[in-house]
Amino acid sequence: MTTYDLIVIGAGPGGYGAAIRAAQLGLKTAVVEKDQPGGVCLNWGCIPSKNLIHQAELFHSLHELEAVGVSVDRSTLDYSAVQANSRKVVKTLTGGVRGLLKKNKVALLKGTARLTDAGEVTLDNGDVLSAKHILVATGSRPMQVPGFECDEDKVLSSTGILALTRLPAELVVLGGGAIGCEFAYVMNAFGVKVTLVEALDHLLPTEDFEVCAVLEACFKRAGIEVLTNTRALSLDRSGEKLQVTLQSADEELVREADKALVVFGRVPNTGDLGLAELGVQLDERGYVNVGDYNQTTAAGIYAIGDITRTPALAHVASAEGEMAVEHMAGHAPRLTGVDAAKVPSAVYCEPQVAGFGLREDEAGERKLKKSVFSYSGAGKSIAVGKPDGLVKILCDAETDEILGAHIVGHNATEIIHELLLAASAELLPEDLCSTIHAHPTLSEAILEAARGINGAPIHA
């Protein structure tokens, strides 16, 4: 029986990052992974989708080149080559993670793990490992809803759509969250007729409504049929084409499509691990209850990422993993718990959407100062042909504390970090105003929005 200081179960962004951090802190560490290192994020999520989005953006921008005379034949596009590129990126990065684990002397063990006793993990090949600490980072999988099960042939999950090597003529996307919006964008850019269906009243229901209105307008202009306030009633797979029956506020609709992408949400991978048997408390939906440093209710066992109730985002898993191993190693963790109000969201379609903290519709009785600045007021947005967007900052009316910020527009997922740092470090809009922003940049829209909190922007 091999003995470690730490066994990490799951080599996703939470698990492998935690393993490396643990090794840096001197813990003898192993990470058990049933598939490739990098988890869903790297293999079948964030990373390949970002590559597809990149290629979709280029393909979409061909019209700009045609307008200056470049002669283009789109019909020769080989989508299987597009998809193959995304797999190449994945291969490079999984190789990178393997290299990092090796360099940090973390053992990468292939297999499925179960917790079989206090401080004991058993692999499906029968190997039994022991460790002082166990970190569970098994992530999540697509939610299956009766009648809408993903067969990965006609009815696809996010995994299935990343595996597609031929473009469908028509795609219905059920679920207007981040994944739904990203693939609606990609497929539309490649010429697929897309219908995007969201049960709630706007796309990206967890984002600020004003930001989402810009996204929705852009999607509609691009030719995506956006149906909000619309529920999926049923999916008929019997014919050559799928028949999707939908219920909007006032009518029943039917859409035909070659493929459907079903992205209703994700569920935690906490079954079959032996958690409950060892005293790890789970809630009624299968999420693990954890303390400030992601300790579970069982001594020596920590849980991070999508199996806890913090936002199911790779960067949250990474932060929790770092915090958990610092705690178990007796090294003062940088964070005490993940403050959900300081977690950035990031959606990578064009325009991008990013934000954190309070949304305007959540303010209730709280008195706010609000400032909104349009991207089109920042010259750079015009220069690069990306005028659609806005920066919105919400502050406490008395103290000016930055309670939330929301951006839609080109590069939103990068420029949000200036605002996020400001909020995390308890800086004020004044601090953003007295920082000289480079001209011409999109970040100037942040400066202008900050000016609007206690005064007026120059370019509005």
Handedness of CA 249, 252, 253, 254 (dihedral sign): positive
Nearer Cβ to a copy of itself (136/422): 422
Sheet holding 345-347, edge to edge: 345-347, 352-357, 402-409, 390-396, 368-374
Smallest distance from a copy of itself to CB 40, Å:
12
Cβ neighbourhood burial of 43 (10 Å; 0-12, 13-18, 19+): buried
Among 8, 21, 327, 369, binds a copy of itself (CB under 8 A): 21
Q: Label residue 287 left, alpha or beta by phi (over 0 means left) and psi (-120 to 50 means alpha).
A: beta
Nearer Cβ to a copy of itself (184/316): 316
Of 60, 437, 439, 459, the active-site residue reads 439
Q: Which of residues 128-147 bind a copy of itself (CB under 8 A)?
A: none
Site string for a copy of itself, 361-400 (x = CB under 8 A): ----------------x-xx-xxxx---------------
Smallest distance from a copy of itself to CB 151, Å:
27
Q: Judging by DSSP bridges, how do beta strands 170-174 and 390-396 pair with one another? A: unpaired
Sequence-distant (≥ 6) Cβ neighbours of residue 362 within 8 angstroms: none
- 329 and 22 Cβ atoms separated by less than 8 Å: yes
Nearer Cβ to a copy of itself (396/431): 431
d(CA 225, CA 203): 12
Report if residue 58 touches a copy of itself, rule: CB under 8 A. Answer: yes
Nearer Cβ to a copy of itself (99/147): 99
Point out which span in 17-25, 211-219, 254-262, 295-303 binds a copy of itself (CB under 8 A): 17-25
Q: Check residue 264 and report its DSSP letter.
A: -
Among 162, 184, 235, 346, binds a copy of itself (CB under 8 A): 346
Q: Label residue 305 left, alpha or beta by phi (over 0 means left) and psi (-120 to 50 means alpha).
A: left
- Interface with a copy of itself (CB under 8 A), residue total 95
Smallest distance from a copy of itself to CB 336, Å:
10
Q: How far is CA 154 from CA 112, 164, 177, 389, 429, in A?
A: 29, 11, 20, 35, 49
Q: Which of residues 398-427 bind a copy of itself (CB under 8 A)?
A: 411, 413-418, 420-422, 424-425, 427
Among 186, 278, 298, 316, binds a copy of itself (CB under 8 A): 316
Q: Which of residues 427-446 bind a copy of itself (CB under 8 A)?
A: 427, 430-443, 446
Which stretch of DSSP H or E encloses residue 178? helix 178-189
User: Smallest Cα–Cα separation from 147: which of 174, 171, 182?
Assistant: 174
Report if residue 220 touches a copy of itself, rule: CB under 8 A. Answer: no
Q: Which of residues 74-113 bind a copy of itself (CB under 8 A)?
A: 74, 76-79, 81-82, 85, 89, 92-93, 96, 100
Q: Which of residues 247-286 bind a copy of itself (CB under 8 A)?
A: none
Coil, strand, or helix at residue 231?
strand
Is residue 459 flagged as an active site residue? no
Q: Which of residues 36-55 bind a copy of itself (CB under 8 A)?
A: 41-42, 46-48, 50-51, 54-55
d(CA 61, CA 460): 29
Nearer Cβ to a copy of itself (195/318): 318
Residues in the chain: 460
Q: Mind telling me the catalytic residues? A: 439
